[in-house]
Amino acid sequence: MNFLYFLFVLSVGFLVGNPAGRANVLDEGILSRTDSLTVIQLPLPEVPGTLHTVPERAAYVLEHFWDALDFSDTLYSRHCIFMEQNFVNFVSLFPHASREARVVAVKRLMKAAEADSVVYSLLASLAEKYLYEPESPMVCEDCFLLFLEEIVCSSVWNGYTRMRSAYLLEIVKKNRPGTQAADFSFLLPDGRSHLLYQIPGRYLLLVFYDTGCDHCHEVMSALKEDILLRRLTEAGELTLLIVDTGLSYTAWQHVLPTWPPEWKTAFDKGGMQAHDRYVWRNLPALYLLDRDKTVLLKEASVQSITTFLTSIWGSDAFPQDK
């Protein structure tokens, strides 16, 4: 749906323009409706002919996407289905514009929404739902960060809501892709303490789990069975470090023999070291790091990790042949 919407923007908004682009949404002659939901979609802004590249055009559409909506008109701005559909359309353009363009567009949107605290809260919840919740197909922490940075500086909220936004901002900023992973200490099976940065390797897959977590064991089984990960680990191209964040040292020792011998196993009682430095909304939490401990993927799925590594080695994944 997002890709189709972008094609629609290209064909209508970018190529032929939309002369009704700045009209008010109450002019039903310019409204578009989708299927049986009859969800009104905002008209596309008319793109100047001087803008030729896709990033330039996407930036313009993003900045002016909400121009046709009067945020003080609660008939539409407080209509959850209307706002959700248009928010999805808005966010679907993010991948086609630069980060700078996204910053401008989000700032403009949230500033306009300050006219109504109810609308502001609605947009904030939609941003969290689509850009931060792991189940969302549009999840993008960096995009959610743009909204949080506006929200925490706004005078619309105070008290608990402002504190929660500030907390989310702190979490999102931790170990972002492209930044250096936080170092922390953990126990090895022989009882010695070790640091993350003491572990060498071209790539490091860091897995936080809990021995008592059934879903963790399901994901661990998927890691064991993945041919690509096994070949890279055996070839020394990938180090797989699994860190038990549970409370039971005895339970951790009990499961140690079940892990592949080439995996590095560690224990961090109750997440005392790691949890202050890392984020795991759900366990297990997987981070992919490079040799310099730069975060490549944060809270990633097994599939996204194998896709990333396949892009480097190819589908056959014979590191020894590279």
Confidence (pTM)? 0.77
**147 vs 160, higher pLDDT:** 147
Q: In which band, very low, low, confident or very high, does the pLDDT at 201 lie, cut at 50, 70 and 90?
A: confident
pLDDT at 246 over 90: no
**31 vs 29, higher pLDDT:** 31
- For residue 134, the model assigns a pLDDT of 84
- Tokens (6 digits) for 89: 């359309």
Compute the distance between CA of residue 77 and CA of residue 79 in angstroms, rounded to an integer: 6
Identify which of 128, 187, 132, 102 has the alpha carbon closest to the alpha carbon of residue 299: 132
DSSP 41: B
- Tokens (6 digits) for 255: 């499961």
Q: Which of 12-21, 81-90, 277-286 is the least confident region?
A: 12-21
Q: For residue 180, list its beta bridge partners.
A: 294
CATH number for the domain running over 185-321: 3.40.30.10
Average pLDDT on 247-259 reads: 92
Compute the distance between CA of residue 183 and CA of residue 149 in angstroms, rounded to an integer: 26
DSSP 278: -
Average pLDDT on 282-300 reads: 95
Compute the distance between CA of residue 267 and CA of residue 209 in angstroms, rounded to an integer: 10
**Within 13 Å, how many C-alpha atoms sit on residue 273's CB side?**
17
The domain ranges of the chain are 2-173, 185-321
Q: Which amino acid is at 205?
A: L
Compute the distance between CA of residue 171 and CA of residue 71 in angstroms, rounded to an integer: 30
Compute the distance between CA of residue 144 and CA of residue 146 in angstroms, rounded to an integer: 5
Q: In which band, very low, low, confident or very high, does the pLDDT at 270 lie, cut at 50, 70 and 90?
A: low
